[in-house]
Amino acid sequence: MARPPKRRRVEFVPEVTVFKPAGIPLIDMEEETLLLEELEALRLKDLEGLEQEECADRMQVSRPTFQRVLSSAREKVSRALVEGKAIRIEGGTYRLAAWRLRCGDCSYEFEAPAAMYHRGAGAACPRCGARHGRRIDEDPRAAGRRMRRGRCGRGWETDEEG
């Protein structure tokens, strides 16, 4: 029996999840499904211009695994462009990354999903509600624990903080 796949660390979740050629209704098109970890591999390697070893570290996978994910993503995007297919971004085996933050107003330390910052949203401090959090973890491996909404619906906390 094969072991279950390791969940890949993803920092970015897109708001737009479908791309298609202009002039053809989506219902009449074939689709390529790009997994979230494949999109993350493309983002890290092609947009951020990182070396594969650093990309693999950020996603918390081995270099060969990162190469397989990246190759799969590039093949799917290429096929969609050449054959005129739509690209749908969904699914995969991933977990959202979290960043450790310190509130600039009250110095409270908390965690927030990294995806919020890629959209420019920021995170409210669970204690005072201010949006002046500064990142205090520079090691991506320190992030990625399960997150839940904080008290009163403001900010994010880890399960350990209760």
Residues of the chain with CATH 1.10.10: 8-94
User: What's this model's pTM, rounded to 2 decimal places?
Assistant: 0.70
The CA distances from residue 67 to 28, 35, 73, 140, in Å, are: 33, 15, 10, 19
**Residue 38: both structure tokens together:** 């494949």
Q: Which fold has domain 8-94?
A: Arc Repressor Mutant, subunit A (1.10.10)
Residue-wise pLDDT tens digits, 64-106:
999 999 999 999 999 999 999 999 999 999 988 887 888 888 8
